Amino acid sequence: MSGFLKLLFRNRLAAVGAVIIGLICLVALATPLLPRADPDVPATADRFQRPFRPGHLLGTDHLGRDLASRLLWGTRLSLAVGVAAALIAGTIGSTIGIVAGYFGGRIDNVIMRGVDMLMAFPYILLALAIVAALGPGLMNALIAVAAVNIPFFARNIRGVTVGLAGREFIDAARLAGKGHTRIILTELLPNVASMIVIAMSTTAGWMILETAGLSFLGLGSQPPVADLGSMLGEARAALITSPHTSVVPGVMIFLIVMSINLLGDGVRNALDPRLRSGALTRPRAVTLVERRGAIPAADQKGLLNIQDLETQFHVGDRVYRAVNAVSLHVNPGEALGIIAESGSGKSVTALSVMGLVASPPGVITGGAVRYEGEDLLAATYRSLREKRGDKVAYIFQDPLSTLHPLFRVGDQLTEAIQAHHKEPDDAARARAVELLKAVRIPNAESRIRNYPHQMSGGMRQRVGIAMALANDPEVIIADEPTTALDVTVQAQILSLLDDLRRERGLAIIFITHDFDVVAQLCERVAVMYAGKIVEEGPTGAILAQPAHPYTRRLMACLPELGGGKRRLAAIPGLPPVVSDLPPGCAFAPRCDKATAACRAGEIPFDGDAAHRVHCLHPEFAPMEVLA
């Protein structure tokens, strides 16, 4: 709650709105206690007094009644009616929406067609018709305004509910034996509650305005009782001769509606988790680069060379250090594995290479990424765009979310080809078929006309690989491409990548959390922990003689088929939170070898150029469990 308020008041306009509407509400609540003249007693001798007369701060109206007093009581009434109408419309409309969205089918159809019928009438005409049928009066105006706003809530909330009702957690609740009422109350309602609050806060001002409109026409509050609308209505005749009688209620309506709308917008922004994380702000085309230190001098190692890369996420005043001083390189025709638990910064490292980390909140704060000697972090957007997909291509983990659901896979492949090479359509199509064959999709000629949902997970992943191969890149960065697949498909995809590496001299950076995959595909491997490389070397050496305690622990966690009985040792503790990394070795709190020096400062790289380890107490003894 305090987090919500903090977010809300960070928005200046919302804060201004909250202060104004808060003051108005306070005065409205305190009105009966204030020593003011009776608002409804006429004093014809004092008609149309100007403002700032003794006893009449805001002057008097056409019957000599004190305007300030009428304004206070009128505001009280208008606010009460508007808020009541919003609550009634919100409750009834949301209930209708939830029921329609949750049950779906015929119930949904009947309810929503009824709502559509209500919506088919012009808003204010419908309200007028309702008041005409019920007779004028503030209560009837309230009913009319609430009724015409019900469809708005019903439609909005139904839309959100339909999306939620098909989700797995609702199925799970059903399987757990919960009844419809309980599912609606405990599963659905908490999820749509913020939507309801948002809809109410943004429409309350509008409803106050509508009630005032009805009163202005004489259909709302009846004389002598005044609300803001009827005050305006009564002042109409004297608009030119005594403008203050209209200005006073007019300004009040303006202030109320304005401040409620500002506050409502703020509430929406603060409650919507997507807006809150900044995800709806459009990220830039290239990750923001703000290098603080000196740019490392170029070393000639490798085709793609990452030096001391630092990538951070700046969210509010927190800094998440996702990647810290990572150095890696890959040669043509070589496969480099990056292995780590999830959350260690593998994906962020990979995305930083081509400037694909979303900014905001991502910022590259240090280091260099060189492709054939060119510093990619200093490259122009144009030059990066030419290289993305053409020189350096990505394969992502989840092919269902990276393929466009509404286009045939053939069209998506053709587009990937034509983005970099001006080829005629049929040549590009032929190339697409060829690519699908290269990734061993059977019946490539007919599969090319499939939509992503018509393919299995393994096939979609192959399409993802085909797309990465479309422009014959020099480097492929594969971010856990086989994690979602079963082992047979995984083995096929690994051997496919391996063939491509041999045939085309492709350099592969393969990100995974699986030592088996690394052993099958990669010549070299780098182990990451909390955004740092802790150990790097030839795959054989690292698998046989892991030197860093973390690598050893990680490998001791692996069960081995036919490996006999042994205890699988879990690593105690949890990976550190990257917004709050300890000084020194990030693994020290979980390491049984850690000494005071480990927790003090920077840990240098140890070992020879081939097998390096970031540890003060490395072990170079073979590891029996895996040897």
> Where along the sequence are the contacts to Mg ion (CB under 5 A)?
347
Q: Which is nearer to ligand ADP, 349 or 412 (CB)?
A: 349
How far is residue 63's CA from residue 235's CA, in Å, rounded to a whole number? 11
How far is residue 102's CA from residue 159's CA, in Å, rounded to a whole number? 10
Q: Which is nearer to ligand ADP, 340 or 353 (CB)?
A: 340
Query: Which window, 153-161, 340-348, 367-375, 466-474, contacts ligand ADP (CB under 6 A)?
Result: 340-348
- Nearest position to Mg ion, beta carbon: 347
Q: Which is nearer to Mg ion, 11 or 347 (CB)?
A: 347
Crossing angle of helices 189-216 and 244-271, rounded to 10°:
170
Does residue number 348 form part of the binding site for ligand ADP (CB under 6 A)?
yes
For residue 431, give the DSSP letter. Answer: H
Strand 524-529: give its sheet, edge to edge.
392-395, 475-479, 507-512, 335-339, 524-529, 532-538, 612-613
User: Measured from the CB of residue 327, what is the shortest distance to ligand ADP in angstroms?
Assistant: 17
Q: Which is nearer to ligand ADP, 313 or 587 (CB)?
A: 313
Q: What are the residues whose beta carbons fall under 8 Å from the beta carbon of 483, sequence distance 6 or more?
A: 397, 512, 513, 514
Among 347, 359, 365, 412, binds ligand ADP (CB under 6 A): 347
Does residue number 554 form part of the binding site for ligand ADP (CB under 6 A)?
no
Does residue number 401 form part of the binding site for ligand ADP (CB under 6 A)?
no
Does residue number 481 form part of the binding site for ligand ADP (CB under 6 A)?
no
How far is residue 230's CA from residue 342's CA, in Å, rounded to a whole number? 64
Among 320, 394, 396, 550, binds ligand ADP (CB under 6 A): 320
Does residue number 78 form part of the binding site for ligand ADP (CB under 6 A)?
no
DSSP H or E segment with residue 327: strand 318-330
CA angle 72-76-81, nearest 5°?
A: 150
Per CB under 6 A, contacts with ligand ADP among 558-597 are 578
Collapsing DSSP states into helix, strand and coil, what is residue 44? helix
Which option in Mg ion, ligand ADP, none does residue 345 bind, with CB closer than 5 to 8 A by kind?
A: ligand ADP
Among 344, 365, 482, 490, binds ligand ADP (CB under 6 A): 344
Q: Which is nearer to ligand ADP, 437 or 513 (CB)?
A: 513
Among 17, 220, 249, 345, binds ligand ADP (CB under 6 A): 345
User: Measured from the CB of residue 538, what is the shortest distance to ligand ADP in angstroms?
Assistant: 22
Does residue number 361 form part of the binding site for ligand ADP (CB under 6 A)?
yes
Among 56, 158, 346, 387, binds ligand ADP (CB under 6 A): 346
How far is residue 598's CA from residue 615's CA, in Å, rounded to a whole number? 8
Among 89, 248, 340, 507, binds ligand ADP (CB under 6 A): 340
> Strand 524-529 relative to strand 532-538: parallel, antiparallel, unpaired?
antiparallel
Does residue number 342 form part of the binding site for ligand ADP (CB under 6 A)?
yes
Count other C-beta atoms under 10 Å from residue 160's C-beta. Answer: 20
Among 73, 153, 313, 587, binds ligand ADP (CB under 6 A): 313
User: Measured from the CB of residue 450, what is the shortest distance to Mg ion in angstroms?
Assistant: 27
Which option in Mg ion, ligand ADP, none does residue 587 bind, with CB closer than 5 to 8 A by kind?
A: none
Between the alpha carbon of residue 149 and those of residues 116, 192, 200, 208, the distances in Å are: 12, 18, 10, 12
First-to-final CA distance of the chain = 54
Among 137, 218, 224, 343, binds ligand ADP (CB under 6 A): 343
Is 119 buried (19+), middle (13-18) or exposed (0-12) by CB count in 10 A? middle
Please name the residue that has the structure tokens 């054939």. Answer: 372
User: Measured from the CB of residue 480, what is the shortest distance to ligand ADP in angstroms?
Assistant: 7
Q: Which is nearer to ligand ADP, 227 or 479 (CB)?
A: 479
Please name the residue that has the structure tokens 């205890």. Answer: 567
How far is residue 79's CA from residue 86's CA, in Å, rounded to a whole number? 11
User: Measured from the CB of residue 527, what is the shortest distance to ligand ADP in angstroms?
Assistant: 12
Q: What are phi and psi of 353, to 5 degrees?
A: -55, -45
Q: Which is nearer to ligand ADP, 42 or 575 (CB)?
A: 575
DSSP H or E segment with residue 204: helix 189-216
Q: Which is nearer to ligand ADP, 131 or 578 (CB)?
A: 578
Which option in ligand ADP, Mg ion, none does residue 235 bind, with CB closer than 5 to 8 A by kind?
A: none
Collapsing DSSP states into helix, strand and coil, what is residue 364? strand
User: Measured from the CB of residue 522, what is the shortest distance to ligand ADP in angstroms?
Assistant: 17
Which has the closest alpha carbon to 96: 114, 83, 79, 78?
114
User: Measured from the CB of residue 533, what is the shortest distance to ligand ADP in angstroms?
Assistant: 12
Does residue number 337 form part of the binding site for ligand ADP (CB under 6 A)?
no
Count other C-beta atoms under 10 Å from residue 598's C-beta. Answer: 22
User: Measured from the CB of residue 307, what is the shortest distance to ligand ADP in angstroms?
Assistant: 19
> Is the distance from CB of 265 to CB of 88 less than 8 angstroms?
no
Collapsing DSSP states into helix, strand and coil, what is residue 149? helix
Is 489 buried (19+), middle (13-18) or exposed (0-12) by CB count in 10 A? middle
Which option in Mg ion, ligand ADP, none does residue 343 bind, with CB closer than 5 to 8 A by kind?
A: ligand ADP
Which option in ligand ADP, Mg ion, none does residue 312 bind, with CB closer than 5 to 8 A by kind?
A: none
Collapsing DSSP states into helix, strand and coil, what is residue 439? coil
Applying CB under 6 A, the residues found at the interface with ligand ADP are 313, 315, 320, 322, 340, 342-348, 361, 578
